[in-house]
Amino acid sequence: MDIAGIKLSFLPDSLPDLHLREKLTKPGSGEEHDHIIIHLHVTDRIPELPAVRYVFHSLWTLSQSGDEYIFQEGHQEPGALPNKVLTLGTDLREGDLYIPDGPSNQSPLPDPLGYPLNQALMILLLSRRTGILLHACGVDDNGSGYLFLGNSGHGKSTMARLWRNQRAMVLNDDRIVVREEQGKIWMYGTPWHGDFKDFSARGMPISKIFFLYPDKENRLIPHEGAKAVSMLLTRSFPPLWDKEGMIFTLAFCHQMVSTVPCYKFHFKQDQSVVDFVRNAA
């Protein structure tokens, strides 16, 4: 699985072909710091977890024991077998994923992590000085990259539908990864879509950033500096548990708004929005 240039290789216990195993684990050019190998174990006995320091708890739990991160899926009843457990070295290079054996786990590939562990892991990886995961719709309009940001109900899926009708490529309508590449700010589609089912894993430089506000007319208000940084943060998935990760995320948001023009975008939810953006660009 490859998302925004971050490669996750899942190696099942049942993979006996050593040549194939070596091929899957060998990093390609430039992947040395963006390639994570996860050994996959479907088992009736998840290993007993060591004493841990709890770091974060929500739909998923992140804890730490020595030089190892431990992700657990969901809230667990006392004595119950966890849904999934991912252990990962703090160098973020290699780890183990344990999935309880059962009818619901007969075919755990191609994404054995599933929600919410897949996105929790991505947030952690990106916070290590590589990028950010955003609530956003990304559109490739014949080489112009538009990033439309909004929380639930702000119109991201509507924007995706309107642009697809104009033969633009929608990268995703709900989750977009943003990273710096060769001095430019790039956006990448992810497989974690909203109501709009089409998505693309490709990446491209961002031309403009729009913060969405459904309205009765189309109107742009330039935003920059602290206001734009704040609006990015409230539409992001920040690593709240990690001081250094938050410092990087803040700095990266500042870099984004300093590099790419940002606008507060009041928009009509009809086809007129496409020509309006194209003419404004």
Report percent pLDDT > 90 for the chain. Answer: 63
Structure tokens at 202: 């490709």
Rounded CA-CA distance 167/161 in Å is: 10
Burial class from Cβ neighbours inside 10 Å (0-12, 13-18, 19+) for residue 12 reads middle
Structure tokens at 215: 């309205």
Q: What is the largest CA-CA distance in the chain?
A: 61
Answer for the pair 101, 42: CB distance below 8 angstroms, yes or no: yes
3-state SS, 160-208, equals: HHHHHCCCCEEEECCEEEEEEECCEEEEEECCCCCCCCCCCCCEEECCE
Global pTM?
0.88
Rounded CA-CA distance 251/191 in Å is: 26
pLDDT tens profile 151-189: 888 999 999 999 998 889 999 999 999 999 988 999 999
Q: Which domains occur in the chain, in start order? A: 2-114 (no CATH), 131-280 (3.40.50)
Interhelix angle 243-259/225-233, rounded to 10 degrees, is 130
pLDDT tens profile 111-144: 899 999 999 999 999 998 899 999 999 999 999 9
Q: Is the pLDDT of residue 24 over 70?
A: no
Burial class from Cβ neighbours inside 10 Å (0-12, 13-18, 19+) for residue 141 reads middle
